[in-house]
Amino acid sequence: MRMRWDEGRAGKGWKRVLLQAILVLLFCWGCSRAPVAIPPMPPPQPVFPPQKVMASGDYAGFLAENQKALAECSEQNLCQEPLFNLGFIYAYPKSPYYQPGKGLPYFEELVQRYPESPLAFQATAWLHLMKQHITAEDRRRRLQGEMKSKNAAINELRKQIKRSREIDLKIEQKERELLK
């Protein structure tokens, strides 16, 4: 017995309807579930402690706050952050308290007292950069001093050359007068 094309297709139609019904049920079941509440995330803490002063620009308040924190800290209350912050405030070129030589002791103490601290690793990098900067600045000052002394020597030699030319001109004039 031969099946007609329409009959074979009609037999497969119920499978399609069943599949569509299952998909609709799955979709509705997924929508009917109560949404899972996602707990609110606390704001991220700054990775770099001086980040807040760099954003706010309140260097005086930041300096006072960290000097106070350092004075009040003890071994139980680790002094890492105030040491780092004080070193930073003196090491950061945009700070009104910029004096790299004053920042070095804070970073050195941090590295010595808390060598495994993440801030100690940052302080080590700052120390390296600051020492290079101080060395370069000392070299620049020394070279400037040498330039000034060389410029003074050049100016003195120019004056001597000028005097020598004036003397030569006077001698020539005298020779001409004598020859006349």
pLDDT tens-digit readout, 40-76: 776 655 567 788 888 888 999 999 999 998 888 877 6
For the chain, give every domain's residue range. 51-136
So what's the pLDDT on residue 175? 87
pLDDT of 79 strictly over 70: yes
Helix (H, G, I), strand (E, B) or coil at 55: helix
**pLDDT category of residue 1 using cuts at 50, 70 and 90:** very low
What is the CA angle 31-35-37, rounded to 5? 170
Instruction: Tell me the mean pLDDT in the region 113-142.
Output: 91
